[in-house]
Amino acid sequence: MAWREQSPERGSQVSSWNPGGPASHRESTLDAAESRPAVSVGEREDFVDAPKTSVSSISGAGEESLTSRPHTEHTVENAEQNPNLNTDSTPARPTDDQILAQENSIREAVAESSPFVGDKEPLAALRKEYEDGSAVFLQKISTLEEKYQAIRRTRGDGNCFFRAFIFAYMEDLVQSNSLQERNRVVTCMRQWKPRLIAAGYQELVFEDAQEMIMDQLNSLGTADPVMLPALETNMRDAGVSQMVVMYLRLLTSAELGQRQEFFSPFILGMFDDCPSVDHFRQRYVEPMGEESDHVHIVALTDALQVPIRIVYLDQSLGAAMAGVGHAEGAAVNHHDFVPEALQNATGPNAIPKVHLLYRPGHYDILYPSKSA
């Protein structure tokens, strides 16, 4: 298993968290579907382009003399001598594996052209994506506009849930300057350190990422607090962003491992290829680039005690958003993931501060309207 004690060579570290320094990143913003490279931290593998089908050129027959045989006779004769000769001029169809490899290569290239975390945009930018597309999506976006004012896109590289979650959470803390919540989550992270070690993870693998986050949080309330531009710069840096995602994956995996009895029915019921919770953790949680679903969300929100809301933008028909009535086709579903310890609680800690938009295979950040 990646990052565990028996594999010390797999641990990777990153240089110090740079609150204000420059970081190289691409500025274009493009919402891409998530690819699912099963790549562990420190083992980034590039996708290989699918082999191109080579089609030999077929030259036409030249002018024929009175004694020459027709070109078709040569073709028939050659086919009789070599039964494996392809006499059809149509290029051979690529195999399914070649098509899949080419699709993955395209997705990877598109994902790498977008920043890990984009700029905050008005929700009208989302409408523009679908103006020539599905009428159902356009109706649902109209519904979203009654509750939300803006969107921030994340790179579609399979890690978008973790990246969107941590950025949205820290951005809310930066803007609210809630020292009470800062102190709570910093304490929670400190308590996770021995639990991660007990779960078999090497301290050198996760300690840098943990310190990065805690340093940012601890700056709140000081004379030099982290500001949004620095937070954006840090999360757009490849080394920093990937290390933070790795840390969140380890928290999620450890939470699953420590509560196997609770999570086992969900995992065994949803994944036919996972005979155990540990197998699920190794296959679908710890590797970088593996997409996240309901199980990942529940585990991470429970691990950090942070409630979040997922809003679903898809073709499904369902109940309208709370407090907003719409025709059935324009209904927008959402689900609040509230940690078990907070489900009967009242007050601001039980209200989701993180709002994510889910489109099939991808998560972006949503910003509620002030009146919502």
- CA dist list (Å): 26 to 117, 168, 206, 212: 10, 20, 26, 22
Other C-beta atoms closer than 10 Å to the C-beta of 118 total 22
**Which tokens belong to 161?**
């849930």
Q: At what angle do helices 294-304 and 179-198 cross, to 10 degrees?
A: 110
DSSP character for 296? H
Digit-coded pLDDT (tens) for 191-232: 999 999 999 999 999 999 999 999 999 999 899 999 999 999
Q: What is the pLDDT of residue 109?
A: 61
The C-alpha angle 170, 172, 174, rounded to 5 degrees, equals: 70
| Domains within the chain, CATH numbers bracketed | 118-368 (1.20.1300.20)
Amino acid sitting at position 339: P
For residue 117, list its beta bridge partners.
Answer: 154
Q: Are 231 and 170 in contact (CB under 8 A)?
A: yes
Q: Which residues contact 52 (CB under 8 A, 6 or more apart)?
A: none
**End-to-end distance of the chain based on CA atoms, in angstroms?**
44
Amino acid sitting at position 219: S
Which residues does the annotation mark as catalytic? Answer: 157, 160, 334, 362
Q: What is the pLDDT of residue 320?
A: 44
In degrees rounded to 5, what are phi and psi of residue 142?
-60, -40
Other C-beta atoms closer than 10 Å to the C-beta of 359 total 18
Q: Which of 89-93, 121-125, 186-190, 289-293 has the lowest mean pLDDT?
A: 89-93
> Helix, strand, coil shares of the chain as percentages rounded to 5?
45, 10, 45
Burial class (CB in 10 A: 0-12, 13-18, 19+), 91: exposed
Digit-coded pLDDT (tens) for 270-328: 888 889 999 999 999 999 999 999 999 999 999 999 999 999 998 876 544 444 445 55
Q: What is the pLDDT of residue 23?
A: 39
Digit-coded pLDDT (tens) for 313-345: 988 765 444 444 455 557 889 999 999 888 887
**Which tokens belong to 269?**
């019921």
